[in-house]
Structure 1
Amino acid sequence: MMYGTDGCMWGGWGWSGWILMSAVMVLFSAALITAVVLTVRYLAGSDTERNRADSAASFRSEDALAQRFAQGDIDADEFRRRMTLLRESQESR
């Protein structure tokens, strides 16, 4: 037969076997969930970095425009018109 001397199937470990099996399953589940979360964050992180780069570029564009206005290369109307166009293009992305 497959029963051990204590009457449990396959020799059995009693309660210690159940506790050990439960602990291993909890650790395995935690490791699996952590792996999934880290993978999603890694894949989503590339988009976040791209958005930060776009944002930095737009600030540089606005700074360059403000500098041209400060130097007198463009007048106030031209500055407002170009700033509006820059912000509209940022919103459409």
Structure 2
Amino acid sequence: MMFWDGNMGGWGYIVMVVSFVLFWGAIIAAIIIFARSMGAGNRRHEDSGNRAGAAENLLAERFARGEIDEGEYTTRLTVLRRSSGA
């Protein structure tokens, strides 16, 4: 048996609208967070930084072993840093 005769009143509508917005906001936020965590954009950025660092380390090792001279080392290091955006 309903004693409120089907009328929610002002507060009922306000609570309904707020809960609707919060529910769909949480769903959309979850989708965005999931998409960003699964996206390749972050991995590409991190991998390019790691590859550039590894390339610089390899170049420094070759310079230390005497395989390349100082001029070639600085030229190649400049090219590496320019291509990686550092």
Shared fold (TM-score, shorter chain, > 0.5) = yes
RMSD over aligned CA atoms reads 2.8
Q: How many residues align?
A: 84
The alpha carbon displacement at 1:84 in A equals 1.8
Larger radius of gyration: 1
Q: TM-score, normalised by structure 1?
A: 0.65
Structure 2 residue 50 is matched with structure 1 residue 56: yes
TM-score (structure 2 length as normaliser): 0.68
* Aligned counterpart, 1:68: 62
Deviations 1:55-89 (A, max 9, x none): 11111111111111111111111111221222233
Greater RCO, CA 8 A, separation 6+: 2
List gaps (5 residues or longer) in structure 1. Answer: none
Partners of 1:58 and 1:25 in 2: CA distance:
47
CA distance in 1, matches of 2:33, 2:58: 38
Tell me the percent identity: 35
Say whether 1:79 aligns with 2:73. Answer: yes
Instruction: List structure 1 runs of 4+ shifted beyond 6 angstroms.
Output: none
Structure 2 unaligned spans of 5+: none
Q: 1:81 to 1:15 in 2, by over 3 A?
A: closer
